[in-house]
Amino acid sequence: MTFLPEDGERGVPPAMALYSILGFWFFYAILVTLRAAVMGFAAQDELAVRRMVVTVIGVIATWVLYLALRRFDHKPLSVRIVAAFSLAAPFALAMAAANFYIFNVYDPAGMLTDADPEKYARPGYALMSIAEDAISRYFFLAAWAGLYLALSYASEAHRVERRAARLERAAQQAELRSLRYQVNPHFLFNTLNSLSSLVMKDRRDEAELMILSLSNFYRTSLTGDPLEDVPLEEEVHLQKLYLDIEGVRFPDRLSTRIDIPESLLDACVPGLILQPLVENAIKYGVSRTAAPVTIAIAAREEGGMLHITVTDNGDKPPAASDGGNGIGLANVRDRLAARFGDQGRIVYGPRPEGGFAVELVLPLIRRGC
């Protein structure tokens, strides 16, 4: 499995490890201090100073243990468990030895007035005391090692989640880019068909005007990033350029109407999301009839959602037998789903008064485009 830096650092970050170590040893210092107070030990001030020294040594030793455990972060979990509980033993022994020195070897009389130096010189006393203390400190360090393993596992799980999210975003972007790039060849195919019909009818002036309009359209549409949204005003402007191209082909039958409130002109929409809808209106609403047809583009806000409609009043709307080439409405539906999930949808069908209507519903976004 390949991880990138944006997936996060492997293992427990140093800051988190340090906070856990400080928390453990602070808890230890509080418990030992309360125990000494309850048992009524003498020289509480001297005990507190030495206890602070032992605590600092413990923090340093646990930090070194953390650095040692980090070397096993790339190993399987079973190896890391064995390493954690094995390495805790020598560190516990070292801390017990330091504790024995601070409380029993270094100036014991300065802490307890009735201290018996001969007691500390007895054969085996030091070893026995250190061994007993090492056992209790081993369980303390083993508890911290268990916490470290839990934090490490959680960090690894988050890392996998971030990688999965990154790959999901990459797949979504690839899908959006693919769907977006489907629009241009589809549009070009339709336009070239229109241009071919003008040439065959020897309408040279109209064909030249269409070529210029086509060049202007592509110059404008191809400058944007296919993954970025565009203001609704820009998207509608592109559709006007396209309608100008088709207006050359149908000068007496095609008229357009734009009904978009000024407050929605800055709303963000996927680039060329209206292109297949307008193309279908031309293909089924205008080219199939000899009567004048009006193509209308309208937008409104409702419940925090943006509703965009493309309608025509042609007398021969598309029927179930009109399969098309699989791009059109399916492309728009897939792009909305990839970009907005369940919040983006498309509704279409014949109008009661005649013609065909397509409505897009998507979140109203005013930033990022």
pLDDT of residue 3: 43
Full-model pTM: 0.53
- Domains along the chain? 14-179 (no CATH), 185-363 (3.30.565.10)
Q: Which residues touch 190 (CB under 8 Å, ≥6 apart)?
A: 279, 282, 283
In the chain, which stretches have pLDDT less than 50? 1-7, 109, 113-114, 325-326
The two three-digit tokens of residue 69, written as one number:
């455990």
For 43-67, write each residue's pLDDT tens digit: 666 677 888 888 898 899 999 999 9
* Distance, CA of 70 to CA of 12 (rounded, Å): 8
Q: Which residues touch 164 (CB under 8 Å, ≥6 apart)?
A: none
**C-beta separation of 362 from 343 below 8 A:** yes
For 94-109, write each residue's pLDDT tens digit: 888 888 887 777 665 4
